[in-house]
Chains A and B, each alone.
Chain A
Amino acid sequence: MKLNDIQSRVQPTFFKEHQNRLYKSLEDKHTTIEEMDDGDPLTTKMILNMGPQHPATHGVLRLVLQLDGESIEKTKLDIGYLHRGVEKIAENKTYQEFMPYTDRMDYLSPYSNNVALCTAVEKIANVEVPERAHYIRMIGAELARISSHLLWLGTMVMDAGAISFFIWTFKEREKIYDIMDRIAGHRFTVSHARIGGVANDLTDEATGSIKEFIESFPNELKDYHKLLDRNRIFFERNEAVGVLRTEDALEWGATGPVLRATGYGLDIRKLSPYARYDQVEFDIPTRLEGDNLARYYVRMEEMNESVRIIKQCLNNIPNGPIRADNAKQAYPSKDEVYYSMEGMIHDFMMTDTGICPPEGAESYHAVESPKGELGYYIQSDGTGHPWRLKIKAPSFTNLQVLENILDGEMVADTVVIIGGVDPVLGEADK
């Protein structure tokens, strides 16, 4: 079978033009290699469609792979199966109303997304956030990082062949869900941060459960290390698989742990510290190898660093208000709403009009989400709705990296490499 004419061999049944362009683009990728290769006498070549409904693609990622036997000659990714048009929705909502949508972007770490939106709006509208709220946000965001990395760890090890491990990491994630329930009143899509602060203060119960968790969690991490660090199967599946060099990583715009595993320690928490990250001590773990195993080590160490940050936050957290006390900038507390006329009016105004940044103002603010640089660009037209809100999603850029590191790998390794890059399609597809 000759593969310089893929299109005549596939019969798409829907989105015909889309599918044809996709196959055409696969045909066109690395055309120089294609020309050298005349025919396929042993008929070892085939086109493999993987996804969008495939459990190992972590969502609705579709890969079109051109295989030569078991090795991948070239790959094209097709994304957009979870496109909901959140940027369009954002233009028609107030900033606070848009918050629940951010939960559903990177649904594995909703808290980081909330913080990203809030910090961006606070930057453009000049809102002063109370000290205590900053610390609560940091605790929430770091818990979200642990939760996201735990899911990555479980699924990635499952992709490499160990099923029971998934259940152990989910046991720990379950504890984080319980903590989130106590912090925010929701287990999964928390929407806890508010513009100008957070929704409610940490209760003693919540603080207690966080303390309990950070005491017990490092031991769990040690157990994970014990199981994996000398595990030959795990090593052989991951070592020297999906290698990315530093220069390529920067050129392709890799971000987050994928970039740090190649040896470049770019972290927004250090680059332009938001919240109070400049007042806590932590390191940025990096590795030099750039393969899947390096990504494993980087994320494992990041979880340790997160525990360190949470410990310091709990020690340093000051008492005080948790939301800006300015009716034009933040919601009044529920006590005010229920027992005073002004409070009720302000609450209504915040819901109806919301916060209005100055006309023509533009700003970009990024946070370090578990997947990498998560940035919000906002352009205001002076009303309560953004004129343009652009989300720079880390999974999107990392998927572009994935499209290029898959070339030349073995087909059996695709699932492991996808696991190692850890994309979340809710975020990549917007």
Chain B
Amino acid sequence: MSLNLSETLQKTVDSLSKNFSESLIEVYQSSGDTFIRIEADSLLKVTKYLKEELHYVYLSDIFGIDRYTSEERFEVVYNLLSLKSQTRVFIKVRCEEENPELDSVVPVWKSAGWNEREVFDMFGVHFRNHPDLRRIFLPEDFEYYPLRKEFPLLGIPGSIELPSTTPESE
């Protein structure tokens, strides 16, 4: 597939493929956005390089995708914005269904903290060395990961104890 990259994006892709040729899996475009998929174990190195050398200073968002495949089921996407060249690039990593685990990028961008907690809450992807990996929306007592495809839309009745509605009824 031919790529239609702007000058700065071309530079990004070139320097990534020069420095991390082994961990770069694919570069593709869809609807005008550029996605770069990399090996999960080199995530920290690549993101650090992107931030420090290529000016992707601003982390907009991190989110998960449930691909619902037997291999490499979960995908985590990092939405990066370069403030210098005002370009946006998406870094993707994949992980397995059994014990999905990735390196936390909090050492690179502090703002990753809550976003990673959200991915953990919704998909159950663990982040190694995250300073405070707790669920963010749902209470800790909840056992399921609601954005996984097998979780029913209507929820699971009785999956969480609700607070008593009558006061002082211990």
Contact = CB atoms under 8 A, between A and B. Distances in A.
A271 interface: yes
A123 interface: yes
Interface stretch (A12-20, A64-72, A307-315): A12-20
Interface string B96-139: 00000000000001110110001000100000000010111111
B111 A18 contact: no
A141 B80 CA distance: 26
B137 A429 contact: yes
Contacts of B113: 400
B114 A250 contact: no
Contacts of A14: 161-164
Interface in B40-79: 57-61, 63, 65-66, 77, 79
B132 A88 contact: no
A88 B153 contact: yes
Contacts of B122: 87
A362 B31 contact: yes
A137 interface: no
A363 B170 CA distance: 51
B65 A388 contact: yes
Interface residues of B, number: 44
Contact of A123 (B32, B147, B163): B32
Main secondary structure of the interface of B (DSSP, over half): loop
A124 B88 CA distance: 16
A17 B60 contact: no
B132 to A, nearest CB: 5
Contacts of A296: none
A361 B109 CA distance: 28
Contact of A364 (B33, B58, B59): B33
Contacts of B61: 375, 377, 390, 392, 397
A123 B83 contact: no
Contacts of A28: 132
Contact of B139 (A18, A29, A396): A18
Contacts of A399: 114
Interface in A351-367: 360-364, 366
Interface in A1-52: 13-18, 20-22, 25, 28-29
B20 interface: no
A253 interface: yes
A379 interface: yes
A88 B64 CA distance: 13
Contacts of A272: 86, 88
Nearest to B90: A364
Contact of B110 (A16, A80, A251): A251
A79 interface: yes
A388 B74 CA distance: 12
B31 A363 contact: yes
Contacts of B114: 396-397, 399-400
B112 to A, nearest CB: 8
A266 B65 CA distance: 28
A373 interface: yes
Contacts of B161: 14-15
A87 B119 CA distance: 12
A92 interface: yes
Interface in A79-125: 79-80, 83, 85, 87-89, 92, 123-124
22 contacts: A14-B162, A14-B163, A15-B140, A15-B163, A17-B141, A20-B140, A25-B132, A123-B32, A124-B31, A251-B109, A251-B111, A252-B110, A264-B83, A363-B30, A364-B88, A375-B61, A377-B61, A377-B77, A388-B66, A392-B79, A399-B114, A430-B137
Given A80-B137, A392-B60, A400-B114, 4 more contacts: A88-B146, A123-B31, A379-B65, A397-B114
Q: What 4 A-B pairs have minimum CB-CB distances, sorted nearest first?
A: A253-B111, A80-B137, A363-B31, A18-B139
Interface of A: 13-18, 20-22, 25, 28-29, 79-80, 83, 85, 87-89, 92, 123-124, 126, 250-253, 264, 266, 271-272, 360-364, 366, 373, 375, 377, 379, 387-388, 390, 392, 396-397, 399-400, 429-430
